[in-house]
Structures are given as C-alpha cells and as structure tokens.
Amino acid sequence: MVDVSQHKLVPEHILLEEEEVQEMLDEYDVKRTNLPKIKRTDPAAPDDAELGDVVKIVRDSRTTDTAVTYRLVIE
C-alpha cells in the first residue's frame, strides 16, 4: 500500500498544539468551528489527528513562497 501523505504533491500537514491553536484563533479572530474542515480519515491527515484537532497545512505558492491554511478535524 502506498503512503499518500509522503507523495511529493501532498502539502505538509502539521498537527497543532492547543496553545498554538488558541494563538491562531486569536490572531485571525475566528472560532474553531469557522475553520475549513478535514476528515480524520483523509489520507493526508496526520495519523494521530483526533476529532476537534486543528491541522496546519503548508503549501508551496508561486506568489508568496508558502501558503498556510488551517483545518478542523471532523469525523
């Protein structure tokens, strides 16, 4: 079986600590439930991601070098 998360086209997915999540939510003045969602079963999601966790996704970008997005882990 191929590990999709290791493919070169899949962006880096980082599971955030609760302190980092709170800083990000305060910085952008959003609620956790307002974040885009990612399923816990998504092949690119970190293996240790649990319901309610927040994942930071870092993609390469032509215009800004890197683009960062955050996703809430759902069922």
Residue keyed to tokens 């999601």: 45
Compute the C-alpha angle 18/14/54, nearest 5°.
40
- Kindly report, residue by residue over 1-46, the tens digit of the pLDDT: 677 777 777 889 999 999 999 999 999 999 999 999 999 998 888 8
* Domain-located, residue 35: yes
- What CATH number does the domain containing 30 carry? 3.90.940.20
* Domain-located, residue 5: no
What is the tally of structural domains in the chain? Answer: 1
Sign of torsion over alpha carbons 10, 15, 21, 23: negative
* Domain-located, residue 1: no
* Domain-located, residue 2: no
Which domain, by its residues, includes 16? 10-71
* Domain-located, residue 3: no
Q: What is the pLDDT of residue 3?
A: 76
* Domain-located, residue 54: yes
